[in-house]
Amino acid sequence: MAFTSEDINVPCLLSTLREWVSIETPSRDGARINALVDLVASRASASGLLVSRSAGQTGCGDLLIVRSRTAGTDTKGLLVLTHLDTVHPVGTLSEHFGWREEEDRIYGPGIYDMKSGAIMALYALELVANTTGENVPSITVMFTPDEEIGSKCSRAAIELEARGAKAALVVEPARDGGKIVVARKGGAIFDVEITGRASHAGTRPLDGRSAIREAAKVVLMLEEMNDVDRGVTVTVGTISGGSARNVVPERCRLEVDVRLPDMAAAEAVIAKILAIKASDPDITIRTEGGLTRPPYAQSVASEALFQQASRLAKPLGITLQGVVSGGGSDGNFTAALGVPTLDGLGADGGGAHTQDEHIIISSIAPRTALLANLLLSACPGNGSEGGGTLYGASAHALRLSKPRRKE
């Protein structure tokens, strides 16, 4: 059994997407995110899926988990990750950036990153659950409220689900013409606080110790850690300091963004940043920060998953290509736990995080069918079609439909 693009009712999917886009959901507005969670949860319940919802902590929206109703034979399931928050502030919709269709594109805030991926995931799960009857595989779809601000509220729950999963599929948007993401850099952030000594710039300049002059040296030290060939980037994104033109500045503060291809690079670069010392004994440097998302490096298991997805994609007219992304996602958490992970399985489009954000309508049907077939290939009895079973489990084990003991 395999789904085709014809199995996807695109107008129906798009009308739900339009509803979801009409609710603005910036990450820090828990109440608005919960209004969307209400919609997603009631649709999932109406489709006969299991729904659980936990209250958001520290201002986050609620975390919604939707599962297939399995007979309990599939001990390890698939995890699908989506987020309902967007980077766009409330009011974006009314500022000439509402839903707009132009030929094969639809524009709208959050449509590409990633409300389209969220509805595709739910649609694919409904399709598989409705088709496989009592053989439905164990599938969990998480709708998280805070991916765009680093997933502090959701990380523990994501890692808990990932530990019990045989693979993770992330429906973040596709890249550059439909490419999927097979690895992502890790990310670290640092705040560097430099404290010197204030004094009158005209009458007692020698008594002062300029925090800004020290900061200039630190900025150059940090920028020298960039290593393009290795994929390490270090960016001083903001600098602020001083109190008035005629005062030797006492304080200066830097905000630093670091992207890292693997754990070895992460450890080396982070140690180097934390070891930066002041060049003057009268100046102190306090550096706080560290890894926020571990690197999602390519692995043998993820490569096998990519090959399987490529085989399933071909009959749908998709030639799957993988890319390494510099941006992080919740896939970083699952991959770092050793769970085979594929990312960027959502809609094709562009303009993420800008007012050019759009999806390509014609990508919806084949990519939703691909997602459904990926879910389906974990189904008991579906191992022999589409090029074998997924996720390293033996074909024999997956074909058993009777309850079995854990091996």
User: 144 Cβ partners below 8 Å, 6+ apart?
Assistant: 63, 81, 82, 83, 84, 85, 151, 153, 154, 157, 158, 330
Amino acid letter, residue 166: K
Question: Which residue's CB is nearer to Zn ion, number 354 or number 401?
Answer: 354
Query: Per rule CB under 5 A, is residue 330 in the interface with Zn ion?
Result: no
Task: Give residues with Cβ within 8 angstroms of 391, minimum separation 6.
Answer: 78, 166, 167, 305, 340, 378
**Residue 17 or residue 114: which is nearer to Zn ion going by CB?**
114
Q: For residue 85, state whether it binds Zn ion (rule: CB under 5 A).
A: no
Residue 7 DSSP one-character state: G
Nearest approach, Cβ of residue 118 and Zn ion (Å): 10
Question: In terms of C-beta density within 10 A (0-12 exposed, 13-18 middle, 19 or more buried), how is residue 110 classed?
Answer: buried
Which is closer to Zn ion, CB of 114 or CB of 174?
A: 114
Which one, 29 or 113, has the nearer CB to Zn ion?
113
Neighbouring residues of 199: CB distance < 8 A, sequence distance ≥ 6? 205, 206, 207, 208, 247, 248
> Three-class SS of residue 318?
coil
The verdict on 80 binding Zn ion (CB under 5 A) reads no
Pick 209 or 358: Cβ nearer Zn ion: 358
By C-beta, is 48 or 326 nearer to Zn ion?
326
Report, in Å, the least distance between residue 153 CB and Zn ion.
15
113 binds Zn ion (CB under 5 A): yes
Residues 329, 223 contacting (CB under 8 angstroms): no
**Which residues, 6+ apart, have CB-to-CB distance to 47 below 8 Å?**
122, 126, 129, 130
Binding flag, residue 232, Zn ion (CB under 5 A): no
Contact segment (CB under 5 A) with Zn ion among 165-173, 188-196, 306-314, 354-362 equals 165-173
CA 23 to chain centre: 20
Residue 105 · residue 361 · CB < 8 Å:
yes
**Over the Cα atoms of the chain, what is R_g?**
24
Give yes or no for a contact between 144 and 82, defined as CB atoms under 8 angstroms apart.
yes
State the number of binding residues for Zn ion (CB under 5 A).
3
> Cα separation of 280 and 209, whole Å?
8
Q: By CB under 5 A, tell whether 36 contacts Zn ion.
A: no
Q: In Å, how far are 89, 160, 172, 369 from 337, measured between CA atoms?
A: 33, 10, 19, 28
Which listed range, 90-98, 132-140, 172-180, 333-341, lies at the site for Zn ion (CB under 5 A)? 172-180
| Residue with the CB atom nearest Zn ion in the bound state | 113
Q: Using CB under 5 A, which of the segments 27-35, 136-144, 171-179, 196-204 binds Zn ion?
A: 171-179
CB of 272 to Zn ion, least distance (A): 30
- Name which of 81 and 285 has its Cβ closer to Zn ion: 81
Q: Give 297 or 347: the residue with its C-beta nearer to Zn ion.
A: 347
180 binds Zn ion (CB under 5 A): no
Nearest CB to Zn ion, comparing residues 83 and 209: 83
Instruction: Name the segment binding Zn ion (CB under 5 A); options: 110-118, 207-215, 227-235, 288-296.
Output: 110-118
Which residue among 17, 64, 106, 114 contacts Zn ion (CB under 5 A)?
114
Q: Which stretch binds Zn ion (CB under 5 A): 48-56, 106-114, 280-288, 297-305?
A: 106-114
Q: Which of 182, 64, 176, 63 is nearest to 112 (CA)?
A: 176
CB 117 to Zn ion: min, Å: 8
Binding interface with Zn ion (CB under 5 A): 113-114, 172
